[in-house]
């Protein structure tokens, strides 16, 4: 099942849609969305959201090493969010 995904970047105050490259793209799942967003480097820590009985709800959080070192409650550097099923 394809979904439309949006890449959002943390600006220090809010998440905003990425304005470089293609901020919106089509992908079958979170792994393909990460590849299309260019966030497959091994330096990143990836967390997917789960709700209820382990069902994926369409959001992937990407943390850089500096964010992880800064503390547990720091916001993610990037969010890839599924916004529409196609």
- Tens of pLDDT, residues 26-79: 998 889 999 999 999 999 999 987 775 655 668 899 998 887 778 777 888 999
The pLDDT value recorded for residue 67 is 79
Closest CA to 81 of 35, 44, 48: 48
Q: How many domains does the structure of the chain reveal?
A: 1
The pLDDT value recorded for residue 14 is 93
Determine what percent of the chain falls in helix, strand and coil, rounding each to the nearest 5: 15, 45, 40
Question: Which residues are within 8 A (CB) of 71 and not within 5 positions of it... i.e. 6 or more apart?
Answer: none
Pairing of strands 78-85, 55-63: antiparallel
The pLDDT value recorded for residue 54 is 56
Global pTM value:
0.82
The answer to whether the CB of 3 falls within 8 A of the CB of 72 is: no
pLDDT tens, 2-24?
Answer: 889 999 999 989 999 998 777 89
Structural domain of 67: 3-85
């Amino acid at each position: 099942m394809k979904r439309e995904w949006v890449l959002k970047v943390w600006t220090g105050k809010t998440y905003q849609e990425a304005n470089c490259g293609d901020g919106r793209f089509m992908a079958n799942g979170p792994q393909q969305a990460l590849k299309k967003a260019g966030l497959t480097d091994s330096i990143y820590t990836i967390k997917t959201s789960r709700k209820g009985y382990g069902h994926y709800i369409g959001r992937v959080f990407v943390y850089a090493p500096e964010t992880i070192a800064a503390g547990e409650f720091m916001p993610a550097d990037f969010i890839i969010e599924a916004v529409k099923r196609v």
